[in-house]
Homo-oligomer: A and B are copies of this chain.
Amino acid sequence: MHAIGIDIGGTKIAGAVVDELGGIVRSDRVPTPAGDAASLESAVVEMIEGLRADEEIGAVGVAAAGFIDAAQSTVYYAPNIDWRNEPFREKLEARVGGTVVVDNDANAAGWAEFRFGAGRLVSDMVMLTIGTGVGGAIVAGDRLFRGGFGAGAELGHLRVVPGGLACGCGQRGCLEQYGSGRALLRMAGEIADAGGIGQALARARAEQGELDGALVGGLIAAGDPGAVAALRQLGHWLGEAAASLSAVLDPQRFVFGGGVAIAGELLLEPIREAYLEHLPARGYHPEPDFVVAELQNDAGVVGAADLARVWVAEHA
């Protein structure tokens, strides 16, 4: 059965018709309407109607950043949209008919990797999506772990430094401030300021005005020592956090996704080093492996569609 997956991002809405093997049959993409919840809803409805023309569709899954209740129905809170306790599922079902489920975007991406990507050979995995922030997903015993209220797996808000850097969640020292794409740019900027191996970063920043992901990513790919050092700092924090997460969740595999994961082994190596250095009861504790995500940009829509299919199968 084909399902539709919709991924509502901060800048764009992506949608696709997805087959049972995670293949994309047809896709669509529009800019996210700014700020207004009603325009957003209409854009999603239009995309669904466009995608399902000439297609037999079993269900629709929608992924968005934020806290979504365990019934995959109500958005408690979304950082990019003016939603508070929004009954998004009910509204969409009323407008498009059929079954619609709503999930957290990082959960959808993690589920896609588990079903069709880097996690498909394990039963228990943790995924960290390293984008502007840090998203998390947990699969335990072949099931997506949502938490008691649906707001679990917010792994970017594990505290790694008491009293550390301020975070958008109102706390200090969250992993997101040390392991995200934004943190990578900060670390690269600090290395540029410090001179030494940071000279290429400093030059590039002077030419371009400021460091961005494309610039730092390009320098990493070119093997620039300053940019690689920033990536290693990032990896170290992620590895330390993974060690604490192993004590709690004990996954068989950690999967790293998002733009930064393109660095592959350059990112995974410092993660593994820091993980082993910080693993409680090392030598006695079984060790997971560390891999990068396989689906990248499609993970959100593929996972959202498949979670909708799972919902239908479990409620048939």
Interface residues of A (CB under 8 A from B): 67, 76-77, 122-125, 136, 138, 140-141, 143, 145-162, 167, 169-171, 174, 240, 243-253, 278-282, 284-286, 288
Sample of 14 A–B contacts (CB below 8 Å): A67-B284, A122-B148, A141-B143, A146-B250, A147-B249, A147-B250, A152-B249, A152-B250, A154-B248, A154-B280, A154-B281, A156-B247, A159-B160, A159-B240
Please name all residues of chain B whose beta carbon is closer than 8 Å to the beta carbon of A250 when the two chains form the complex.
146-154
| Among candidates B140, B145, B253, B280, residue contacting A174 with C-beta atoms closer than 8 Å | B280
Q: How far is the CA of A248 from the CA of B151 in the complex (A)?
A: 8
- Determine which of B123, B140, B155, B244 lies in contact with A140 in the assembled complex, contact meaning CB atoms within 8 Å: B140
Contact A248 B285 (CB under 8 A): no
Once the chains bind, are B151 and A123 in contact (CB under 8 Å)?
A: no
Contact partner of A244 (CB less than 8 A), chosen from B67, B158, B286, is B158
Which residue of B77, B162, B167, B281 contacts A157 across the interface (Cβ within 8 Å)?
B281
Q: Across the interface, do B249 and A149 meet the contact criterion of CB distance under 8 Å?
A: no
Q: Residues of B contacting A248 with CB < 8 Å?
A: 136, 138, 152-155, 158, 245, 248-249
Task: Please determine whether A252 and B170 come into contact, CB atoms closer than 8 angstroms.
Answer: no
**Across the interface, do B280 and A171 meet the contact criterion of CB distance under 8 Å?**
yes
The copy count of this chain in the complex is 2
Q: Which residues of B contact A284 (CB under 8 A)?
A: 67, 76-77
A306 to chain B, nearest CB (A): 19
> Smallest distance from the beta carbon of A164 to chain B beta carbons, Å?
9
Q: Which chain B residues lie closer than 8 Å to A160 at the CB level?
A: 159, 162
Task: Specify the chain B residue showing the minimal Cβ separation from A123.
Answer: B148
Once bound together, how far apart are the Cα atoms of A244 and B77, in whole Å?
19
A147 touches B251 (CB 8 A): yes
> How distant is the Cα of A146 from the Cα of B245 in the complex, in angstroms?
13
A145: chain B residues within 8 A (beta carbon): 140
Most chain B beta carbons < 10 A, residue from A141, A158, A279, A280: A280
**In the assembled complex, which residues on chain B have CB atoms less than 8 Å from the CB atom of A77?**
281, 284
Inter-chain CA distance A191–B155, complex, in Å, is: 36
* Contact status B252-A158, CB under 8 Å: no
Contact of A247 among B155, B279, B280 (CB under 8 A): B155
Contacting residues, chain B, for A247 (C-beta < 8 A): 152, 154-158
- Chain B residues closer than 8 Å to A151, beta-carbon distance: 246, 250, 285-286
In the complex the two chains form, is A67's CB within 8 Å of B281's CB? Answer: yes
Point out the residues of chain B lying under 8 angstroms from A285, CB to CB: 67, 151
- 6 new A-B pairs (CB below 8 Å) besides A152-B247, A157-B244, A159-B243? A136-B248, A147-B250, A147-B251, A155-B248, A171-B243, A248-B248
Give bound CA distance, A136 to B248, whole Å.
Answer: 9
Sorted nearest first, the 10 A-B pairs with minimum C-beta distance are: A147-B250, A124-B148, A152-B250, A157-B280, A148-B252, A149-B286, A169-B280, A77-B284, A157-B247, A154-B247
